[in-house]
Amino acid sequence: MRNFRRMVPMAVVILFLAVGDAGAVEPNQQTLLNSVTDFFATVGQSSKEKERIRRDRRSARRAYRMNKAQQKNTATSQKRIKKQQKTIMKKVNAVNEKRYHDKKQREKTRKPQVTNK
């Protein structure tokens, strides 16, 4: 029975850590984990103090999520640009290679010019 009493809080903590903010898609979305941590952060506070703490925590979470979304968009854009650059360089290299082979072919088939002196 003692082990069970120790395991329940540990299981709850592990569950919250595993879930985290994964459910939050929008910057202003309030998740279950946010509600629980806000509750424990405001236990024993006056109602005005509770509202101030919740407002501060929400704005901090929103700023973090927006920053994270911006970094993700920047990384995605950079990957797309690199992919486009690779495609363009493949085309450029193919054209240059074709020109090189065409020039070699013309040199092989060109008849030597005879000059009369």
**Count of C-beta atoms within a 10 Å radius of residue 61:** 20
Q: What is the pLDDT of residues 42-72, one digit of tens each?
A: 999 999 999 999 999 999 999 998 999 999 9
Please write the tens of the pLDDT for every residue from 69-95: 999 999 999 999 999 999 999 888 888
Question: Any idea where the domains of the chain sit in the sequence?
Answer: 2-81
Taking the C-alpha atoms of residue 12 and residue 34, their distance in angstroms, rounded to an integer, is 14
The total of other beta-carbon atoms located within 10 Å of residue 13's CB is 10
Q: Is the pTM of this model over 0.75?
A: no
